[in-house]
Amino acid sequence: MALSGPVGLVWLRRDLRTRDHAALFHALRGCAQVHCVFLFDDAILAPLARADRRVEFIHDSLACVDVQLRTLAGQADAGLIVRQGLAEEEIPRLAQQLGATAVFANHDDEPQSLARDARVRAALQSAGVALHTYKDHVIFERDEVLTLAGAPFSVFTPYKNAWLRKLNAFYLSSYPVERYAAHLAPRPAQYRHLPTLAETGFEPTNLHQLALPTGSVGADQLLADFVPRLAQYGDTRDFPAVKGPSYLSVHLRFGTVSIRELARLAWTESSQHQSPGAAVWLSELVWRDFYHQILAHHPRVVTQAFKPAYDAIAWESGAEAERLFAAWCEGRTGYPLVDAAMAQINQTGYMHNRLRMVVASFLVKDLGIDWRWGEQYFAEQLNDFDLAANNGGWQWAASTGCDAQPYFRIFNPISQSEKFDAAGRFIRRYLPQLAALPDKLIHAPWKAGPLELAAAGVSLVDAGEALGASSYPRPIVDHAEARDRTLARFSVVKGAVDSQ
């Protein structure tokens, strides 16, 4: 292959690894010398709280990338360049300083990212530098899986079937980065310093106390732990007190693990070894691709319902809605499974997938609050926040999205609790004030009698009252009454839905 130029610059974004990396492979194969940069983009960082687990996760993962680059190159002066500023200013400036004739990056189809890349491309072009981008974050992107009519899918099952028909070993093969590692260039002396977290303007969080391993080394640890549990994934994934998930979602989000590696494992185990758990896990990975192609084809979903008729719904507003929303955010709804799930996200930045559906349904269909409020709160709190998946999940729960649950399907937070946390193990972990209640009462403490509450050391308080160490709020809404209100609220779209 003819070299595209003497010097190339790889711009890392949501792909913080060196193994099986599309842009890095193409740069190394096409250029005589290759530098790698990660930019702390001020446009992204500015709105964030100064203590943000995601920034700390990225910071720690960059140190891992730096070590891997130096190891691949076999020289101490190689490694990662880390800059901070605006992408449209810093990337062109660095490319010119390094004498790069091309910048290589992987696709990011979020609307703001596409706009950013357009600005960077224009600035690079004016400096005579090309920008090359590649698929890396999903197995199939954009227009790669379409209906027979050439249109994007809006229903998951036929999309999944088409996805599986198209899948073969080629799409799951790794990029052999190591083959061209000799083209990694030493960094100029002024670029060899990796900034501390404080130098980026951020503070430490409880990330390390959570024992969440970072970088691709951390992803490898989690994957090795998950593989022996993979066969049981379908049976265990819905129970928040059970170690069922892979816990790799944050690593997929920041690309510290290759989606091809994970999908290859799931595909091999399900097709060759008939592992039912692997088949379920592969389906979850297909959902991820599905939501990414929905975002690519329908960027309006960022602010609007996928089903336009649902934008006519009148959500609760005003001071009462704000009060109910605050109670939901703070885990003060009086429904233990909901409150325990909110405690989990607030304390750790993670929430079990089953619970994401439960709390989303509760916010939208019990409290009547716009799904966009909850989506934004998750965007602020989740370590693994991914716009496509977060938006898709919230619109699914709110019945406003593609292939969403019907509007009349309303999760009962008590029955969900009894079914998926029957012994109350998850609730007791995050709501210790309820720990002494018997299993049959921990899902609905207000059903306990005075003697049972006293024996458990629990005092129930009305909404708005201060909570003490042993107190717990009464429900802020009656589920049965809320269900009736939701059916009435969604009646505005019933005719449109029935005619589909």
pLDDT interval class at 404 (50, 70, 90): confident
- Please tell me the distance from the alpha carbon of residue 455 to that of residue 437, in angstroms, as a whole number: 8
- Please tell me the distance from the alpha carbon of residue 7 to that of residue 190, in angstroms, as a whole number: 18
User: pLDDT tens digit string along 8-36?
Assistant: 999 999 999 999 999 999 999 999 999 99
Residues in a beta bridge with 33: 7
pLDDT at 115 over 80: yes
Q: Are 240 and 355 contacting, i.e. CB atoms less than 8 angstroms apart?
A: yes
User: pLDDT tens digit string along 415-473?
Assistant: 999 999 999 999 999 999 999 999 999 999 999 999 999 999 999 999 888 888 899 99
- Please tell me the distance from the alpha carbon of residue 234 to that of residue 277, in angstroms, as a whole number: 5
- Spatial neighbors of 488 by CB under 8 A, at least 6 apart, are none
pLDDT at 494 over 80: no
- Please tell me the distance from the alpha carbon of residue 358 to that of residue 116, in angstroms, as a whole number: 35
- Please tell me the distance from the alpha carbon of residue 171 to that of residue 156, in angstroms, as a whole number: 20
Mean pLDDT value across residues 197-220: 97
Residue type, 447: K
- Spatial neighbors of 83 by CB under 8 A, at least 6 apart, are 37, 38, 39, 40, 90, 94
Nearest C-alpha neighbor of 339 from the set 266, 246, 414: 414
Question: With the CA atoms of 328, 329, 330 and 333 taken in that order, what torsion angle do they form, in degrees rounded to the nearest 10?
Answer: 10
Domain 138-174+216-297 carries which CATH code? Answer: 1.25.40.80
pLDDT interval class at 403 (50, 70, 90): confident
Residue recorded with tokens 């992204």: 44
User: pLDDT tens digit string along 239-258?
Assistant: 999 999 999 999 999 999 99
- For domain 308-498, the CATH architecture is Orthogonal Bundle (1.10)
138-174+216-297 and 308-498 in the same fold: no
**pLDDT value for 272:** 86
Mean pLDDT value across residues 347-351: 98
pTM over the 0.85 mark:
yes
Average pLDDT of every residue of the chain: 96
**pLDDT value for 499:** 43
Residue 244 token pair: 């069922």
- For domain 1-136, the CATH architecture is 3-Layer(aba) Sandwich (3.40)
How is the chain split into domains, by residue range? 1-136, 138-174+216-297, 308-498
**pLDDT value for 500:** 44
Active site residues: 284, 287, 315, 353, 371, 394
**pLDDT value for 273:** 84
Reduced to 3 states (helix: H, G, I; strand: E, B; else coil), residue 90 is helix
Residue recorded with tokens 């088949």: 279
